[in-house]
Amino acid sequence: MMFRSVASVAVMRSARSSSVVGRGLSAVLKRDLASDSASTHIAPTPGNGRVVVVSSGKGGVGKTTTAASFAMGLADSGFKTVVIDFDIGLRNLDIHLGCERRVIFDFVNVLQKECTLSQALIKDKRSPNLSVLAASQTKDKNILTVEGVEELFIELRKNFDYIVCDSPAGIESGARHAMYLADEAIICTNPELSSCRDSDKMIGFIASRSRRAERGMFLFRAMAIALYCSVIVFLIS
Ligand SMILES: Nc1ncnc2c1ncn2[C@@H]1O[C@H](COP(=O)(O)OP(=O)(O)OP(=O)(O)O)[C@@H](O)[C@H]1O
Ligand SMILES: [Mg+2]
């Protein structure tokens, strides 16, 4: 429930500023927001931050744009939020958030203990609740291990309410680790049959092969947002 309400806030903000997202999207989000505000609104407890992965089947459908605006929306709503670029080798979240000149250490440096987590976290200059963890430009995505990523998440969960992961497309290693360990997922798609079908596959992957699924916890709400048109495709729980 929490996820739906904050997702709605964040996406509504970007929807207002984006001429391509039409009135239909806003209407669906307003309805979700209204129903959420009437229900119990449970904030994450300290030390128990939630991991939200933003993923897709196909590339170039708006994951990074969504992750950046969603994280900014959460931070503006008062939640301590960190957004991590999982696109190792092809980072661009730092550009979306305007901090590309401030990247000294990255996500892989933290995993390889070449720096501390606090040295690698970049504080956003506009939103005091938002921090960014950039991806490495030079390393290979195979450098990620589930154990390494999990250790990092344990540390981040203690200090942040939300950990938003900008994942690469598909189910290669970088994306897989984030999805395996996530609490919630946002699956981006655009209104083409091939993109929708690949998104459907991703939702199936998360629903069957994530750690929560392995433990029989069906708490995911995967939301597919159709870019370039005014429709939210579906919500599952
Ligand atoms: N809602 C939107 N409407 C129209 N264009 C969009 C929207 N969101 C993103 N874009 C544009 O689509 C392009 C791809 O966006 P983005 O980089 O966020 O996609 P991505 O899924 O992260 O790509 P990749 O798979 O390469 O990581 C960019 O040019 C971006 O400006
Ligand atoms: Mg991207």
Q: How far is the CA of 34 from the centre of ligand 2 (A)?
A: 31
- pLDDT given for residue 194 in this prediction: 87
Give the pLDDT band of residue 176 (cuts 50, 70, 90): confident
In tens, the pLDDT along 114-161 reads: 999 999 999 999 999 999 999 988 777 677 888 889 999 999 999 999
Give the pLDDT band of residue 68 (cuts 50, 70, 90): very high
| Contact in structure between 224 and 185 (CB atoms under 8 Å) | no
Checking if the pLDDT of 103 tops 50, the result is yes
Ligand with minimal distance to 231 CA = 1
**Looking at residues 53-80, what average pLDDT do you find?**
91
Q: How far is the CA of 188 from the centre of ligand 1 (A)?
A: 10
Checking if the pLDDT of 1 tops 60, the result is no
Higher pLDDT among residues 128 and 225, named by residue: 128
Higher pLDDT among residues 75 and 192, named by residue: 75
Q: How far is the CA of 141 from the centre of ligand 2 (A)?
A: 14
- pLDDT given for residue 158 in this prediction: 93
Q: Is 28 exposed, middle or buried (0-12, 13-18, 19+ CB in 10 A)?
A: middle
Which of 208, 207, 134, 147 has its CA nearest to residue 173?
Answer: 147
- pLDDT given for residue 15 in this prediction: 35
- pLDDT given for residue 220 in this prediction: 56
Checking if the pLDDT of 98 tops 70, the result is yes
Give the pLDDT band of residue 25 (cuts 50, 70, 90): very low
Checking if the pLDDT of 77 tops 90, the result is yes
60 lines ligand 1 (CB under 6 A): yes
Q: What is the 3 state secondary structure string of the chain?
A: CHHHHHHHHHHHHHHHHCCCCCHHHHHHHHHHHHHHHCCCCCCCCCCCCEEEEEEECCCCCCHHHHHHHHHHHHHHCCCCEEEEECCCCCCCHHHHCCCHHHCCCCHHHHHCCCCCHHHHCEECCCCCCEEEECCCCCCCHHHCCHHHHHHHHHHHHHHCCEEEEECCCCCCHHHHHHHHHCCEEEEEECCCHHHHHHHHHHHHHHHHHCHHHHCCCCCCCEEEEECCCCCEEEEEC
User: What percent of the chain stands above pLDDT 90?
Assistant: 33
**Looking at residues 203-208, what average pLDDT do you find?**
81
64 lines ligand 1 (CB under 6 A): yes
Checking if the pLDDT of 52 tops 70, the result is yes
14 lines ligand 1 (CB under 6 A): no
- pLDDT given for residue 38 in this prediction: 38
